[in-house]
Every structure is written in structure tokens, then in C-alpha cells.
């Protein structure tokens, strides 16, 4: 199947996964392919992927709560800053895939070490390897986030090719200290993105379709996104 058809037909936000657990081998193979085919500036890969498997239910519940808190805090700040007049009265049901899934990936910043080629450039030619410094993690955050986006896009494709479903999430508490407060002490660096994976039982679009609002939740027109100079 062509890439376009795969994404159009298969990538849909999951409301709920079924109980069937995909084989670990499928996940490992897809992760290997994503690692192998995703480029990185200076070959640094300054991010790390944590995989939370089927037995990590308690940890996923905690991560889900960090998502709800991230969302609630953002809404409260908006009210405080007078950008909004009220906060939501319900928990967003579209975060539930973070709690109930066979596999969850969370991607975090990582301090990298230069390979032999770049070490030579650093030691003998004055190249600066910003991915190697804790002090630069914040400064290079958005260029690392672009690389994470490329990685997750490739990983999504390999999982979808294996008939799996995936869903993304970008709303969560970003300070590792918030993760420590709920007992996730293995997290040392800032989370950038999370994605769940499994076999879907129900998709978000089915809810929106039932509410007869599918025509309302559309993208901006292409001319707003692409501009020929």
C-alpha cells in the first residue's frame, strides 16, 4: 500500500483499544526500523524512547493523570491570564488511550555523545556539539522536537503497516519533577511526545460522526498552510 493510502485509510485517533495484545516482536521490529531510517543532526539522536508494555498498567495510569493535569493547568492559566473565561468541567475522554493500551511510547530529551567523526571535528577543528551539554537541552528543544516528529512518523508507518493502530498526545506535564511526584523516578529528562499503540476497538471519529459534527472538525485550508513565495 502506498504511504498516502496507508495514512488516509489507517491512521485514526483511537478512543479505545481492544484487549488483544500485539506481539512484542512486532513492536521491536518497528522500533528498529524507525531507529534505522530516521536521520539526526550530527548523528546525535538527542532523544530517548521509553516503552511501557502491557504489564505497566499502574505507570500508565500515572502518566494519564499527568496528561489530565497538564490540560487542566493550561486551562486554569488561560483563565488567570484572561485568555479564557472558564475551564472544562469534564476530563477529556480522548486522553484515555494513554491509560488503556497494550504499549505506550514516551519520548524524552537525551544528552548525546559524539561519534568518532564528530569527535575529530570537535577536538581538531572547533565544531560545537550542542547535543552533548545539559545546559543546551532547553536551547535546542525545538530542533530536537522536529527530529522526534520525524522518528514518530516513521514509527507510525511501520506499526500501521503491521495492521496496528496508534494515537499521539502532546498534552502533559513537561517537568521531570512532576513525573517524580507520582513515582515515575526513572524519568530524568523532559518529555517531548507520547504515542499509544494496539488494536483499536473504537475511534474518535466514530464519536464525532454520531454527534453529526464530522464536517465541523476539519483542517485549515491548504492555502493557509502552504504559501509559494
The interface with other proteins within residues 28-67 (CB under 8 A) comprises: 31-33, 35-37, 39-41, 43-45, 47-53, 56, 59
- Smallest distance, Å, CB 226 to other proteins? 5
Cell of 97: 488511550
Number of residues that bind other proteins (CB under 8 A): 91
**Torsion from C-alpha of 165, 171, 175, 180, nearest 10 degrees:** -60
- Smallest distance, Å, CB 198 to other proteins? 16
Minimum CB distance to other proteins smaller for 116 or for 210: 116
- Smallest distance, Å, CB 175 to other proteins? 13
- Which secondary-structure segment (H or E) carries 200? strand 200-203
> Within positions 186 to 225, which residues make up the interface with other proteins, using CB under 8 A?
186, 192-193, 208, 213, 216-220, 222, 224-225
Minimum CB distance to other proteins smaller for 27 or for 100: 27
- Smallest distance, Å, CB 16 to other proteins? 18
Minimum CB distance to other proteins smaller for 140 or for 181: 140
**Quick one: three-class SS letters along 136-200?**
HCCCCHHHHHHHHHHHHHHHHHHHHHCCCEEEEECCCCCCHHHHHHCCCCCCCCCEEEEEEEECE
- Smallest distance, Å, CB 61 to other proteins? 14
The answer for residues whose C-beta is within 8 angstroms of residue 95's C-beta and 6 or more apart is 64, 67, 68, 71, 169, 171
> Within positions 91 to 150, which residues make up the interface with other proteins, using CB under 8 A?
110, 112-113, 115-118, 120-122, 125-128, 130, 133, 135, 141-143, 145-150
Give which of 137, 113, 140, 146 is closest to 189, Cα–Cα.
137
Amino acid at each position: 500500500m502506498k504511504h498516502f493510502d496507508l495514512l488516509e485509510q489507517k491512521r485514526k485517533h483511537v478512543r479505545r483499544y481492544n484487549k488483544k495484545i500485539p506481539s512484542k516482536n512486532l513492536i521491536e521490529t518497528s522500533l528498529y526500523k524507525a531507529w534505522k531510517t530516521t536521520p539526526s543532526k550530527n548523528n546525535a539522536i538527542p532523544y530517548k524512547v521509553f516503552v511501557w508494555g502491557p504489564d505497566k498498567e499502574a505507570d500508565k495510569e500515572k502518566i494519564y493523570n499527568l496528561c489530565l493535569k497538564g490540560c487542566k493547568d493550561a486551562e486554569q492559566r488561560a483563565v488567570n491570564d484572561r485568555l479564557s473565561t472558564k475551564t472544562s468541567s469534564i476530563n477529556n475522554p480522548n486522553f484515555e488511550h494513554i491509560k488503556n493500551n497494550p504499549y505506550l511510547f514516551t519520548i524524552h530529551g537525551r544528552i548525546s555523545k559524539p561519534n568518532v567523526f564528530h569527535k575529530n571535528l570537535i577536538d581538531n577543528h572547533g565544531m560545537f556539539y550542542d547535543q552533548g551539554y545539559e545546559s543546551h537541552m532547553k536551547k535546542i528543544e525545538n530542533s530536537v522536537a522536529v527530529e522526534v516528529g520525524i522518528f514518530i512518523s516513521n514509527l507510525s508507518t511501520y506499526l500501521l503497516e503491521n495492521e496496528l493502530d496508534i494515537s499521539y498526545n502532546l498534552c502533559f506535564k513537561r517537568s521531570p519533577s512532576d513525573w517524580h511526584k507520582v513515582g515515575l523516578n526513572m524519568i530524568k529528562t523532559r518529555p517531548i511526545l507520547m504515542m499509544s499503540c494496539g488494536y483499536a476497538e473504537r475511534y474518535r471519529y466514530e464519536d464525532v460522526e454520531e454527534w453529526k459534527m464530522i464536517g465541523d472538525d476539519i483542517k485549515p485550508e491548504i492555502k493557509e498552510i502552504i504559501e509559494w513565495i
